[in-house]
Chains A and B, each alone.
Chain A
Amino acid sequence: MLLLFALFMIGTTFSVASASTKQASGSLSRSVAIDEGRQIFLKGCSSCHGLNAEGGSIAPSLIGVGAASVDFQVGTGRMPMADMTVQAMRKTPAYTPEQVAAVAAYVASLAPGPAIPGSEIVNYERDGSTAEGGELFRTNCAMCHNFAGQGGALSQGKFAPTLMESDPKTIVEAMITGPQSMPVFSDKIITPAEKLSIIKWIKAAQVEPSLGGAALGRVGPVTEGLLAWTLGLGLLIGIAVWLATKAR
């Protein structure tokens, strides 16, 4: 199965015709995966997205969303949705990585769309720049995801999730597919090199040490004010009461 997955990975990036013998086995395994993906799709997704992924009144069409979108939504457990009230929540994935890959292959086979990012993103550590990534993050991402990537509120209960658990692949997938309320940051808007910098900054933010004491959630002055009123004033009033009692 793992082999099949590896082959599929090769297969999806293999869009240019080449004369090698791999092509036959590649397209064969791809069609197997597509078929398996279609079966999973019919059972788990089609009730909302339609039998041919054409969408319906409650769910969008998946034709042309690409493998990256499926990998992001299903791979992080957001799809299938637990409830449809606000937005898809991150949770334990319902499918194994192989099954996710199969569905992704099926959806990708319907029409061309963004592919799952390949091995180039593992080089973020080498090719990215944290400082530049921070600038890009604050310009493009912080308005929703907060200055430290802690996430933030959007209108009507929607929200930008925290990025403290995101891995490089899902970060790139989110940028190129624009899941839920997120806009698409295509390679023209943020170049692949810049994306690596953003990843590098987010990975640094995930392990950012708590300089100066407890970080208080890294959400700004609200928690600081709360602590001043509770712990700060509480301690001082407690001591004042004690001092006034002692005097008697």
Chain B
Amino acid sequence: MTAKEKALGNVANYVDERTGAAAWMKKNLNKVFPDHWSFMLGEVALYSFIILLLSGVFLTFWFDPSQREVLYQGDYQPLSGLKMSAAYASTLHISFDIRGGLLMRQIHHWAALLFMVAMVAHLMRVFFTGAFRKPREFNWIIGVGLVTLGIVEGFLGYSLPDDLLSGTGIRIAEAILQAIPVVGTYLAFFAFGGPFPGEVFIPRIFTVHVLLLPGIFLALITAHLMLVWYQKHTQYPGPGRTEKNVVGYPLMPIYMAKAGGFFFIVFGVIAFLSTVASINAIWLYGPYTPGQISAGSQPDWYMGWLDGLVRMAPPLETHAFGHTISWNILIPGLIVPGILFTGMALYPFIESWITGDKREHHLLDRPRNAPNRTALGAMSVTFILVTLFNGGNDIIATNFSLTINQIMWFSRIGIFVLPPIAFVITKRLCLSLQRADRDLVLHGTETGTLLRLPHGEFVEVHAPISQVDAWKLTQHEQIPALELSTEDSHGVRRGNALRNKLRSRMSQAASDQVAKPNETDLKELEGH
């Protein structure tokens, strides 16, 4: 043992005697994680969040979250001498006068967009591979919570500079608040401390944006990661991988190095975007005044679907007992999002109710092997895409020589028609892929070698696929539909007939599969 090793050992021993960390570290640093690129989407979200924290702290040093009116005397000539809020003026100050300020603002905003992009991509990965199944339902709900909070946090963040675009967004948020029946008006007055825009809203959302929500984020992300740690990471099926093990590399040193390196890569990509592409150029929007509005006012993309829903709503309103109920805002602004997010949060429970599968799952599904779930996912994505499309209707109209009215009607009809079509097509595609897998296992791959038989027939030589590949294509289980009899063992009709019928039908749909090849199939094939 060299002197250096001895010294290090002494330090480690000193710490261990006081903290007992050695045993814990030994156990946890050797923890094994499976390796796949799609497992890194969540990492992107995590690293974006860290970058958001760091760049956000920088911005708070100069940002003045106040709606007090000031006279702009700064360097940006097109706004010189205008009255504006201190929030807007200080954002201009950060952009033009603070060294690296504009870069930091752009890093903060691009990181926010990528944070949401990565969370949604991660969510789709988890959904389409069935990683949300028992025992990970709670972690799925935490994830849905993080996406929801991310939308709110992002909205509050880009509302802070009090520019013309974000002020318009706040105005719409106020309208959605007011659309809540009976109490809406009071809630709006409460939030704004009086009539819109007031002077308290920006200071209030600043506190929520930099203190309350980041705190909740940190807590939820910690819980999210602790659950991943405790429940182990899921893995894609492969040789030697079972529901009872995890095949991969240890945290130390492989993932420490990889994750550490990947953090800097994410930082690099965000910094790259921030240097080459402008984002939220607030000096172009001008300061917010309720009397002004710009064409093509849009929210950031993660709110775009909500805007798209509001834009396609027909003008419906009812007046009753001295109250106005604006269905045109209430339905797209609150009811539909409420249904969407509740459905998303409850999906693991709904699926397990439909399939009757209450077992633990640590091996992931290939999306094609769960056709019903994959089709449901494609249906939801299509729904959101239609709303996003309509959310950008004015930009799309001017750039592609379409009319807003065409796009609106396309979306109004498409929102009902396209998702079911996507469902059917995706399900058929999944089943076709299953059929292709079956063919591959039974007949092997095409070699491109043609053989002429003595009697003149041409055949293509097929090479059998490797055992590993064959195993990957056949390892999944195919859960049969639930058999829910309408009568119990005594021949008495069960209650909840309608519910059972519904469950039975959905279970039937969920179990649509192309039978995977089994031994009989193989033997039969060998026979000829």
Contact = CB atoms under 8 A, between A and B. Distances in A.
A144 B258 CA distance: 50
B424 interface: no
A51 interface: no
A226 B110 CA distance: 12
B284 interface: yes
B403 A233 contact: no
A208 interface: yes
Q: Which of B41, B103, B265, B294 is packed against the most chain A CB atoms within 10 Å?
A: B294
A240 B36 CA distance: 8
Interface residues of B, number: 74
B151 interface: no
B403 A219 contact: no
Interface string B116-157: 011001000000000000000000000000000000000000
Given A138-B286, A147-B165, A243-B40, A232 B278 contact: no
A113 B392 CA distance: 40
Contact of A144 (B37, B110, B295): B295
B273 interface: yes
Q: Which of B37, B95, B297 is packed against the most chain A CB atoms within 10 Å?
A: B37
A211 B278 contact: yes
Contacts, number: 210
18 contacts: A130-B78, A134-B82, A142-B164, A142-B293, A143-B292, A147-B164, A156-B403, A157-B404, A201-B78, A212-B102, A220-B294, A220-B296, A224-B301, A225-B302, A227-B273, A240-B44, A240-B262, A247-B35
Contact of A213 (B40, B80, B106): B106
Contacts of B37: 237, 240-241, 243-245
Interface stretch (B3-11, B211-219, B394-402, B414-422): B394-402
A218 B284 contact: yes
B124 to A, nearest CB: 11
A229 B110 contact: no
A236 B284 contact: no
Given A156-B403, A220-B165, A228-B110, A131 B284 contact: no
A168 interface: no
B165 to A, nearest CB: 6
A111 interface: no
B78 A222 contact: no
Contacts of B348: none
B393 interface: yes
Given A221-B299, A232-B110, A138 B294 contact: yes
B280 A221 contact: yes
B270 to A, nearest CB: 8
A233 B269 CA distance: 9
A216 B102 CA distance: 16
Nearest to A233: B117
A210 interface: yes
B276 interface: yes
Nearest to B301: A225
B296 A213 contact: no
Nearest to A129: B81
Contact of A147 (B44, B80, B103, B285): B285
B191 interface: no
B277 A155 contact: no
A222 B392 contact: yes
Nearest to B294: A147
A138 B273 CA distance: 29
A219 B278 contact: no
A221 B118 CA distance: 18
A82 interface: no
Contacts of A243: 37, 40, 258, 261-262, 265
Contacts of B304: 221-222, 225
A236 B40 CA distance: 9
